[in-house]
Amino acid sequence: MTEYKSMASTLVKIDVHLIFHVKSTGTIMRTEDLERIFPYIGGIIKGIGGLPIAVGGMPDHIHILTSFPKTMSLAEFVKNVKADSSKWMKSLDAYYGKFAWQEGYGAFSVSPSLVDKTIHYIRNQSEHHKKRTFQEEYKLFLDAYGIQYDERYAFGD
């Protein structure tokens, strides 16, 4: 007779590359504030049980590589990161009074073998955007992951 042993705890390791954009009617992030904003977002992620691996981006959008927490849904996780960061940014000064993230986001799984490459990609956003726009970049992700989308709705608020 075969003896089966049960697992004593839930063990999860899911790395996710998140991408989201500033609302088109909102205020973009000032370049000089990015070095404060990115670590703050990393702190939000830690506070809700995730592990921030890399946070970066451009004044109009953000990239986050995170080990996803096992205790909440992806939608809930992104909602918390967006809401908490938006609220904090509005408290920085009057410039961010109309700051808001777009409602949508992209979430892409990252295999362990691609974590270092993804970190490098996130940390070198200014170089990538010398060659292509946010929309061009985002379309590359959608196409690489085989995600079907309607351009009329993929980039609107």
Q: What is the pLDDT of residue 7?
A: 65
Tokens of 31: 């370049």
| C-beta of residue 131 within 8 angstroms of C-beta of residue 53 | no
The number of beta carbons lying within 10 Å of the beta carbon of residue 28 is 15
Record the pTM. 0.89
How do beta strands 61-67 and 15-21 pair? antiparallel
Q: What is the pLDDT of residue 25?
A: 85
Please tell me the distance from the alpha carbon of residue 61 to that of residue 47, in angstroms, as a whole number.
Answer: 22
| C-beta of residue 15 within 8 angstroms of C-beta of residue 65 | yes
| C-beta of residue 66 within 8 angstroms of C-beta of residue 50 | yes
Please tell me the distance from the alpha carbon of residue 5 to that of residue 17, in angstroms, as a whole number.
Answer: 34
Query: pLDDT (tens digit, 0 to 9) for every residue of the chain, 157 residues total?
Result: 667 766 668 888 999 999 999 998 889 999 999 999 999 999 999 999 999 999 999 999 999 999 989 889 999 999 999 999 999 999 999 999 999 999 999 999 999 999 999 999 999 998 888 889 888 888 988 999 999 988 877 777 7
Cβ within 8 Å of residue 13, ≥6 positions away:
67
